[in-house]
Amino acid sequence: MTEFDYVIVGAGAAGCVLANRLSESGRHTVALIEAGGNDSNIWIKIPAGFNKTVYDARLNWGYETAPGPFIDNRRIKYPRGKVLGGSGSINGHLYVRGQAADYDMWAQLGCRGWSWTDVLPYFKRAESRIGGSDDVRGRSGPLTIEDQRDPHPLCIAYMGANEALGLKRTPDYNCGDQEGTLLYQQMMKRGRRWSPVDAYLRPILRRPNLEVVTRAMTEAVDLDGKRAVGITYRRNGQVHKIRARRDVVLCGGAINTPQLLQISGIGKPEDLAAIGVPVKHDLPGVGYNFRDHYAIRVSALVKGAGSLNERSRGLRLVGEVLHYAIARKGLLTSSPSHAGGYFRTRPGLESPDMQLYFAPASYPGGSYGTAVLDTVPGMTLGASQLRPESTGHVKALSSDPMAKPEIQPNYLAVQTDRDALLAAMKYLRKLLATKPLADYVIRENFPGPDCQTDEQWMAHARATGSTTYHPVGTCKLGADPLAVVDPQSMRVIGLTGLRVADASCMPRMVSGNTYAATNMIAEKASDLIAAG
């Protein structure tokens, strides 16, 4: 048995931060345990490689959702990173903090110390950003945030159409006020993905007080009464134990953290009984309050702009590879979404409730979810509701840590979610008919002009919508009966020696992609944990 002061489970967006911050003083020893392998795959480094990594079984867990009762009982692929850097090594590398009101709501829900004013210093500490105001942006942090290096003409036309419909152009949507149309900021450094490993872990691998163990599947949090004393993990067929003198810190994310707690005997008694695990700590909120952004898309055939579809084949692709090798620009620096925006779907809302996405590319059949772009020139417009009310759960289906858990998001279960998405779909079609974007449109090909009534639009949403890969909330911060984590210490409520710091802690969705908020949570948690 080996002993460390801190044992961190999961080397993703949060775990890499905590490994860095908890070991930087040199006073404490830290073990970072990761079930995946190293991050040397070339498609992790190239930004456009997200189209490859999310389908590569070597790099992700290959999960899928349970049949969705409000989305035609479909199952949706749900990749999560199985590699150093976690999902931060395979995601679309967009940097979106959310709205100031998101965090003020957390504080109003009982998470004192998590308002926008409270968390802003941690956003700033994390990032290295050129542009924006010094009041809200960081200049010397480990996480590099870049603007797009060569925006596509279709993106400019898309933003122009939004402006024509009354949506202002926003110079920095990460200032706390998102409303407007924009080009997304990216977690890149000189045209290369800048992952949590690059930012936080690789620079410190030689610290003598840090040990990183890969391809190690954590099987249980070991408890002595109501205190976590370490973990048990399996590597190369051998079972190992590590003792934590101070804390075990779970950073497995919104899927794997609740699963590990459940198979360790921590959770809702009925859920534990269903998998034959004795109850060691009754905590009914574990695995519940699951939230995710559900996105719908509209695509069109385009003319006169040279979409990414054409540039991804034949001699054009050879040219793009050379362009990237020389200048770190072009097709290979692409994100899933290049441009977008935040708008209100109805009067009376205090802040935007819808996120917009745009890519100067399209996919076969119109739907996002394949590794290959369409063979004809195209563009894709998308939208997702920022703060859905529909909630679901994550449940372990076996005591075996390798068994995939049940992931049930319950997309579109609540009428307000459906109403907001209906308004968004109609807005996307209006964009296609608005100059200057309309000048490039030959025809809408997905869902197509036959989709006209509200019922037809909702049928389209149910049949083709998909995840944006933003799961949160399954071990939420708070003080209510379903809270799992104490907001002032990050301790699992009712236990000592066990803390959680990852996306599972979010009590509510943030307004946008979740990496930035997860990074902030880990930065703040490192101070709370170090304080004792």
**Axis-axis angle for helices 15-23, 515-530 (nearest 10):** 30
CB atoms within 10 A of CB 209: 18
- pLDDT value at residue 315: 86
DSSP secondary structure letter of residue 284: T
Domains with residue ranges and CATH for the chain:
1-52+80-144+193-289+391-402+471-532 (3.50.50.60), 149-183+294-385+412-464 (3.30.410.40)
Sort residue 31 into left (φ over 0), alpha (ψ -120 to 50) or beta: beta
pTM for the whole structure: 0.97
- pLDDT value at residue 1: 63
> Which tokens belong to 386?
């920022």
Q: What is the dihedral of CA 411, 409, 406, 109, to 10 degrees?
A: -160
| 281-282 and 288-290 strand pairing | unpaired
- State the maximum Cα–Cα separation within the chain, in Å, rounded to a whole number: 68
Report the run of H or E that residue 521 belongs to, with start and end: helix 515-530
Residues 77 and 58: their CA atoms lie apart, in Å, by 15
Residues 276 and 358: their CA atoms lie apart, in Å, by 46
> Which tokens belong to 435?
């100059």
Contact 302, 436 (CB under 8 A): no
Which ranges of 46-99 does DSSP label H, i.e. alpha helix? 50-53
> Which tokens belong to 19?
């490994």
Q: What is the mean pLDDT of each run of 10 residues along the chain (532 residues)?
A: 94 98 97 97 93 89 97 96 96 96 97 98 97 96 94 97 97 97 97 97 98 98 98 97 98 98 98 98 98 97 92 89 92 94 95 97 73 88 97 98 98 98 98 98 96 98 96 97 98 98 98 98 98 89
- Active-site positions read 470
DSSP secondary structure letter of residue 140: S
- pLDDT value at residue 474: 98
Contact 245, 3 (CB under 8 A): yes
Give whole-number Cα distances, 43 to 40, 69, 209, 320, in Å. 9, 35, 31, 15
Residues 302 and 444: their CA atoms lie apart, in Å, by 9
Residues 314 and 458: their CA atoms lie apart, in Å, by 38
Which ranges of 410-483 does DSSP label H, i.e. alpha helix? 415-432, 454-464
| 498-500 and 392-395 strand pairing | unpaired
Sort residue 512 into left (φ over 0), alpha (ψ -120 to 50) or beta: left
Residues 474 and 33: their CA atoms lie apart, in Å, by 21
- pLDDT value at residue 372: 78
